[in-house]
Structure 1
């Protein structure tokens, strides 16, 4: 099998990397960037810090801080107007997954036009787009290193997966010091999100030796450092390890794929406005248990990479240890069920068929080791609603 590999052209990774943003933008020939961020990063002065770095390099930067959580097609309108009014020649995504997804969508729409729905899977877009520079502030989404963006349809609440090389940032600036103030809940949700990326990339039907190496490295780091980062946000070693693992996991699934967890997670976020990483965490143990018989050795490799068992442990025993650990990890970082999160059971039930349809339509479940039916997805949604995954 020939693996198709796509990565950012340039990466600056490490403490203080943010100070090199100006030189990165200049190296790409961007003179009029739009910095795409959210209101929090704008109001706390962090966006202004980046503007000054860009200005020092000779760039004329404008700021769009209207990104919303789980961006929708409608939320792109003002940003698209600013990109065009500024005559931008590039976009800088600054923040978590939502600003990153917004920046990617703006880069494509401003150069090629149309509605974002025209770019959703199963299509793949590799046409004209403004160059994208990604500066993540959370250790989880991995969007800085992927050729995907996710935008919600305002009318149907469908989280549309939009793939293609044109959504891949040309450069990334990954500075773990930007994550030191992340609160514990965000640390947990994004950390489990990164672990989900790594595991799904590894067990995916589209995995390759290239993506395997990145995924296993990410799993190893996350298993050692997520609880530490959750317990003590000032733990620099843990923060640095988690930030690098997030980027590695992003590169892994961008060049492999995600699978059933993500396919089921997007509808939860779209319909009930649960953060993407948290909805992944709600699903991860149950979906892993559902899938394990179809890829025992691959799941066993995950357990061994995470240090849960030694290399001599038999495949089934190791794979079962992975499910136990995922259940324990989600308990340790206090992942709620949909019920304890506050979702009404009647509303949950009435949307199960639609969510299952949307999960299947995304294409991600087809990459899973065990490809589910519509009814099996509905059953999994019911399983996770009020009961923590069984160990």
Structure 2
């Protein structure tokens, strides 16, 4: 409490069923002329983008569409989007989708006011100028990229995910409307939901955690634990979608200010090397990293168990309660159908390279305990071999 904090989140946040309908009115207040709508081809063909366009048309907001975003967005995506932004004479950005369109839009926004190549902004606080305004509309309860200062772009040449941590990329308006999330496939709902849970758990245990981040991360864990299986089972369950939407949203506010950890460091390498979806990569690693980190803050892991609805009253020690959190996350992952690392494209012969890159990742420094390359190799291999985690 004696440490001064600078807390980042978007100035305007629209949250809850129907909140996307408020976008037009909010954009009108910003005195902007034309948006580049950044999305992917699936969302541009399945009716989600059409719903956004109807809101923009009603408000008289001009736009051009860029829908070439890949699931793991690349430097090419960002530079192509920036070219479209310039050609169309746009002065702000609207992102529609999960983390991929959000991250691409952040990259385009930074280039629009800073120039250069997006690779120049890898790392922390590399840009000088604030992005053009971004209206970030989330369609999944997962990445929370719509509320964070982080974005991730894949360098195709190096097969490496570049991590950018930059307050200048923070959106002006964030929108988290669960009605846009209805009907999403089970696999996508599971992966994005475990991504959100990873954010909440890593935000709660990160070195940079503090009073506010702890409070909202804990609540996020509660919400996700309560609703994730319902949301996966029934894609039309608006209450479950709303609970997951709130859980993802506030997890983003937590980790954007507290930091993450080596789940993300290691998952970024799986995405960069094998193009694995980010949420799946996080989910496959989360319980194994939790087990590794328990001795750094067992009280917090015991809290996580309780937030997930586990009865820890019969545990003789805080360490026993903490281990129940690991087992509960395993149970959730199995219940929603998350595959194992062995079932993915992961190759054992790559593990040394992946661990070395993960050690250098921007998220590693926030992990609650120090790690070595050998530690990271061990976690990858434990996840790959699916060594049992002992339940209390």
- 2:305 aligns with 303
Distance across 1 between alignment mates of 2:351 and 2:312: 40
C-alpha distance 86-388 of structure 1, shift in aligned 2 (>3 A): farther
Which secondary structure does the structure 1 equivalent of 2:136 belong to?
A: strand
| 1:9 and 2:8 correspond | no
SS where residue 233 of structure 1 aligns?
coil
Provide the residue aligned with 1:67 in structure 2. 69
Confirm whether residue 360 of structure 1 aligns to residue 359 of structure 2.
yes
In the other structure, the counterpart of 2:373 is 374
Q: Which residue of the other structure, out of 321, 325, 350, is the alignment partner of 2:324?
A: 321
Could you list the per-position Cα deviations for residues 3-57 of structure 1 after superposition, in whole angstroms to 9, with x for gaps in the alignment? 2201110011111111111112112222211110110111123223322321321
Give the equivalent residue in structure 2 for 1:24. Answer: 26
Q: How far apart, CA to CA, are the structure 2 residues paired with 1:119 and 1:227?
A: 38
Match for residue 93 of structure 2 among 91, 94, 119: 91
- The answer to whether the 8 Å contact 1:337/1:386 transfers is no
Question: Structure 2: which 5+ residue stretches go unaligned?
Answer: none
CA shift at 1:166, angstroms?
A: 1.2
Deviation of 1:316 after TM superposition, in Å, equals: 1.3
What CA RMSD, in Å, does the superposition of the two structures yield over aligned residues? Answer: 1.5
The match for 1:49 among 48, 51, 66 is 51
Is 1:254 equivalent to 2:256 in the alignment?
Answer: yes
**More deviation, 182-191/328-337:** 328-337
Q: Name the CA distance, whole Å, in 2 between partners of 1:383 and 1:23.
A: 51
Of 146, 155, 158 in structure 2, the residue corresponding to residue 156 of structure 1 is 158
Structure 1 CA distance for aligned equivalents of residues 236 and 146 of structure 2? 23
Deviates more, 1:16-25 or 1:283-292: 16-25
Structure 1 position 194, deviation (Å): 0.4
Change (3 A) 1:47 1:12: same
Q: Number of residues paired by the alignment?
A: 387
> How does the TM-score come out when normalised to structure 1?
0.95
How many Å apart are 1:388 and its aligned residue?
6.1
Q: Which runs of 5+ in 1 are unaligned?
A: none
Moved segments of 4+, more than 6 Å:
none
Q: What does 1:257-268 align with in structure 2 at a 5 Å threshold? A: 257-268=259-270
Match of residue 178 from structure 1: 180
Residue 142 of structure 1, CA deviation: 0.7
Deviation of 1:310 after TM superposition, in Å, equals 4.8
User: CA shift at 1:101, angstroms?
Assistant: 0.6
Q: CA deviation at 1:87?
A: 1.4
Aligned 1:220-231 pairs, distance under 5 A: 220-231=222-233
Cα distance, 1:181 vs structure 2: 1.2
Deviations 1:325-375 (A, max 9, x none): 01111111121122223x26xxx2332222112212123122111221011
Superposed displacement of residue 144, structure 1: 0.7
Shift of 1:77: 2.5
**1:129 matched to which residue of 2?**
131
TM-score (norm 2): 0.95
**1:336 lines up with 2:335 in the alignment:** no
SS of the equivalent of 1:185 reads helix
Of 258, 283, 286 in structure 1, the residue corresponding to residue 285 of structure 2 is 283
| 1:123 Cα deviation from its structure 2 partner | 4.2
